[in-house]
Amino acid sequence: MQAVVLAGGRGTRLRSRIGDLPKSLANIGGKPLLEHQIVLAKQHGIEKVLILVNHAAEQIVEFCKQRENWGIEILCVDDGAPRGTAGAVLSVLDLLDDDFLTIYGDTMLDVDLTRFKCFHEKHKAAAATIFTHPNDHPHDSDLIETSEDGIVTAFHPYPHDPGIFYSNKVSAALYYVRRQALLAWRATATPLDFGKDLFPEMLRAGAEIRSYSSPEYIKDAGTPARFDKVCADFASGRIARASLASSQKAVFLDRDGCINVDYGHIDRPERFELIGGAADAIACFNRAEYRTIVVTNQPVVARGDCSLQDLRTIHNKMETELGRCGAFVDAIYFCPHHPDRGFIGEVEALKVRCNCRKPATGLVDEAVEAFNVDRSQSWIIGDSSSDVALAKRSGIRSILVETGAGGLDSKYPVMPDYTVTDLSEAAKLILTVHPILIDTASDLTAHVKPGDVCFVGGLSRSGKSVLSSAIAEVLRGRGFDAQVIAIDRWIRSVADREPTVMGRYDMNEIRKVLSRLVGVRSPETHDLPYYEKLGRVSHPRAEKITISPETVLVVEGAVALSLSDMVLHGRAHTFFVDIDEELRRFRVTREYSRRGVDREAAASIYSSRQEDEAPIVLASRARAEHCIQLRAIELIEAVG
């Protein structure tokens, strides 16, 4: 394979940074830009590089000699008068291989070129494959439109029609090109640019052009501000971390009810409305180097309420509105299927059971492979129990947001790792609070051994489940099997309750199950109940859990510490979570309000719990080895 580097630019705008050097020799991290490009190409099996030079050509030629051509075949050719990017390549057509990679001389990149090449070679009919990516300013960028399978259908230069929503897909000025496809254009008048002239002309002439979309780092370093940014990114390691040759951390986002207001089935762009703060949260993930990937069920397509083109327009609106706020998503994966029949106008071919409809893991599995995602460093965020079930099946941490369905759909008897109000709080949890939580949990569990039991107690809405999830996460990070057992699973159905907090739980059954779990001598599977918050109904044997003698149980709940006497001294570790009472009151009343209870009734519930629950729970505080004021909760709830 051959690479062509367009290194003839004068670099006039960079004089304040590079003096009289050609811009290809601009120093980034102690190495000229050209060397970064050639070393990358060599790493991915490219053994021939054609460098098109002009301004200060002798400096580039001499530099290559000094480096002994990096042990590969290097040819420097003066391309003469400025012809534009495509014109320069057309002028050396006879020197090109059948397929070649085109690199602009002022771009800094760290891209998995092998993946890019494999994609290009897979599509034999493509005249060229353009490396594309989203950016945080699509409104003033030249955009590319593609079909669902990545065939370029249109180029949309800036400025754009304000009445049209465009996909956030921008050319990164990196191309694989087939020489045969250029033969018909070799006599075309110059100057001729690839992006603005040649590719649009080829498309109009019927050529197939493909888009290869990737979040990897490739940036123009041709102005002082951009050059300084590239240098800073290189120094911080950001450039290397973005390569798909390295594993990536990701945030998988549900769409309806998480990113946008869920008005039921969103079947047209007019019904798409971002939830307040969602765009800013996604921008935070972007800046923190999380691959931000939407995974969404869209049965409106199977129902016949919305065509694939309509769905594409809805997603284009989402990308447009995110872009206006400086945010972007790296990819959108959707399931158009629905298993149930009987809808007027339904699409028969899509009425199937599939492996991509959440909570099936097909969409996540596809994204994990495409983006080389490290599941252990990633998150799934959504508003429904299917999102939480998806996370559990995928082996990824879950965050339930209380927007949209807020987890009250109860389709699946699962409990999230973390629960927050909305996507803004999810970003705050992941980027700011979670590291503090992990440090806290790590210190608290220094002496926990396999087979031990952690009991986490405290008043309702004090942060017990948050700390418990962090404890389990820390223990798993040490190689332990850790399972969170939420006492709230044993809340009685409302018709079966007895007075006081102890009467709200089936304490006999809790003790019976916990006794079995603590006493296992070999791996066993047990059934756990599930309490449906909205219907206030208990469902027995709703979820299965597998326990071994080495499993660390993390038992959490308001009355958890009252159970600590079931475990031998030395195997039990007891924690009580304190919280500012005004903050707790706010959290309790908000929880009941989202379940449909009016404000006055929610306040009344809080007051009654202060009488029949608080004294009993606070008395259990004396059983705790550690009392924790969970600062993390205050950080999540803090305004701004």
Instruction: Give the whole-angstrom CA distance, residue 132 versus residue 154.
Output: 14
Question: Quick one: pLDDT band at residue 639, thresholds 50, 70, 90?
Answer: very low
Q: Please, what's the b/e burial string for 430-447 (b: 16 or more CB within 10 A of its CB; e: otherwise)? A: beebbeebbebbbebbee
Residue-level length of the chain: 640
Distances (CA, A) of 536 to 248, 385, 497: 41, 16, 11
Distances (CA, A) of 223 to 108, 140, 627: 12, 17, 55
| pLDDT > 90: percent of the chain | 90
Give the mean model confidence (pLDDT) for residues 547-556. Answer: 97
Could you read off the pLDDT of 425-442 as tens digits, one per residue? 999 999 999 999 999 999
CB atoms within 10 A of CB 163: 5
pLDDT at 11 over 80: no
Instruction: Give the whole-angstrom CA distance, residue 199 versus residue 89.
Output: 13
Higher pLDDT, residue 2 or 541: 2
User: Is 452 designated active site?
Assistant: no
Higher pLDDT, residue 630 or 533: 533
Higher pLDDT, residue 636 or 167: 167
Could you read off the pLDDT of 211-255 as tens digits, one per residue? 999 999 999 998 999 999 999 999 999 999 999 999 999 999 999
Could you read off the pLDDT of 120-174 as tens digits, one per residue? 999 999 999 999 999 999 999 999 999 989 999 999 999 999 999 999 999 999 9
pLDDT at 625 over 70: yes
Give the mean model confidence (pLDDT) for residues 305-333. Answer: 97
Pairing state of beta strands 291-297 and 331-335?
parallel
Question: Quick one: pLDDT band at residue 589, thresholds 50, 70, 90?
Answer: very high
Strand locations in 179-317 (E): 208-213, 217-220, 250-253, 291-297
pLDDT of residue 308: 95
Strand locations in 232-389 (E): 250-253, 291-297, 331-335, 379-382
Kind and range of the H or E run holding 366: helix 362-371
pLDDT of residue 637: 63
Residue in 106, 136, 233, 254 annotated catalytic = 254
Q: Which amino acid is at 251?
A: V
pLDDT at 297 over 60: yes
3-state SS class at 255? coil
pLDDT of residue 79: 84
Of the chain, the end-to-end C-alpha distance in Å amounts to 52
Find, among 181, 173, 171, the residue nearest to 208 by Cα: 181
pLDDT of residue 32: 96
Question: Quick one: pLDDT band at residue 570, thresholds 50, 70, 90?
Answer: confident
Strand locations in 200-330 (E): 208-213, 217-220, 250-253, 291-297
Point out which residues pair with 539 in neighbouring strands.
Answer: 530
Place of tokens 């590079």: 18
Q: Kindly write down the DSSP assignment for every residue of 394-422, as one continuous string.
A: HT-EEEEESSTTTTTT-SS----SEEESS
Find, among 381, 394, 456, 386, the residue nearest to 421 by Cα: 381
Question: Quick one: pLDDT band at residue 500, thresholds 50, 70, 90?
Answer: confident
pLDDT of residue 630: 76
Find, among 460, 430, 492, the residue nearest to 558 by Cα: 460
User: Is 254 designated active site?
Assistant: yes
Could you read off the pLDDT of 502-536 as tens digits, one per residue? 999 999 999 999 999 998 999 999 999 999 999 99
Q: Strand order of the sheet with strand 291-297? A: 331-335, 291-297, 250-253, 379-382, 397-401, 418-420
3-state SS class at 246? coil
Higher pLDDT, residue 580 or 210: 210
**Residue 507: is it exposed, middle or buried by C-beta count within 10 angstroms (0-12/13-18/19+)?**
middle
pLDDT of residue 640: 32
Phi-psi region of 407 (alpha: psi -120 to 50; beta: other; left: phi over 0): left
Interacting residues of 78 by C-beta distance below 8 A, sequence separation 6+ = 8, 52, 53, 54, 57
Instruction: Give the whole-angstrom CA distance, residue 457 versus residue 501.
Output: 13
pLDDT of residue 137: 94
Give the mean model confidence (pLDDT) for residues 532-557. Answer: 95
Question: Quick one: pLDDT band at residue 632, thresholds 50, 70, 90?
Answer: low
Find, among 119, 117, 113, 148, the residue nearest to 43 by Cα: 113
**Minimum mean pLDDT range among 193-207, 338-352, 388-402, 490-504:** 338-352
Instruction: Give the whole-angstrom CA distance, residue 550 versus residue 486.
Output: 19
Higher pLDDT, residue 636 or 155: 155
Q: Which domains does the chain have, with CATH numbers?
A: 1-240 (3.90.550.10), 246-440 (3.40.50.1000), 446-639 (3.40.50.300)
C-beta of residue 454 within 8 angstroms of C-beta of residue 575:
yes
Instruction: Give the whole-angstrom CA distance, residue 315 versus residue 324.
Output: 14
| Ramachandran angles phi, psi of 128, nearest 5° | -155, 155
Token duo for residue 597? 């209870």
Task: Output the average pLDDT for the chain.
Answer: 95
Residue in 256, 262, 387, 488 annotated catalytic = 256
Question: Quick one: pLDDT band at residue 341, thresholds 50, 70, 90?
Answer: confident
